[in-house]
Copies of this chain bind each other. A is one copy, B any other.
Amino acid sequence: MSATEDNNAPPKGPQCRVLIQQCVQAELHIDDANLVKIDRGIVVFVSFFAGATEDVVRRAAQSILKIKLSENHDGKLISVLDLPGSVLLIPQACLGGKRKNNAVQYHQLIEKNKGEVLFKIMESELQKHLSSCPKVTAVADETSRPCVRSGTYGNRQVLKMDSSMGPFSHVIDF
């Protein structure tokens, strides 16, 4: 069997789609008793397609932190690591939907249990890279130090968000 016939081969289309929005503050209400919150930084919505691999998710996490989409006080575009800012990661399966007439179909999405594993990997990769970034660790006051916060996979949640001066929304496929 050739590699091209391998059913386990990753799909040809994207494996992971993210929507990145800049915020000055964002709060995700997980349920009545729990919320996660960040100050200046990025809100990252993520969706995984069938066949997505751990490797792509790790690369996507690094790219999210390194891509120059945040504006510093001089108006220069820099990465969220250089800002330095926080990340609010939100699972958002519907981002991977495909329009057909007046409905959206979700056939291309990964199975829920596999998506949950990849979401955890993305979360821990973001955490690892952000928390070891010199600009982040240099923030002396722990309470204002940039951080990664995340929603719960498979749950419905409410987001309250104030965008930065923009607002800036970018969609990136990996």
Contact = CB atoms under 8 A, between A and B. Distances in A.
Interface in A93-135: 94-95, 97, 99, 102-104
A92 B161 contact: no
A97 B170 contact: yes
Contact of A63 (B79, B102, B158, B165): B102
Contacts of A63: 99, 102
Contact of A79 (B45, B102, B169, B170): B102
A9 interface: no
A95 B172 CA distance: 9
B156 A19 contact: no
Interface of A is mostly: strand
Interface size class of A (residues with CB under 8 A): 35 or more
29 contacts: A19-B19, A19-B171, A45-B167, A63-B99, A63-B102, A67-B103, A68-B102, A68-B103, A68-B104, A77-B103, A92-B167, A92-B168, A94-B166, A94-B169, A95-B169, A95-B170, A99-B172, A104-B170, A157-B165, A157-B166, A157-B167, A158-B162, A158-B163, A158-B164, A158-B166, A159-B162, A159-B163, A161-B161, A171-B171
A160 interface: yes
Contacts of A90: 167
Interface in A132-174: 156-172
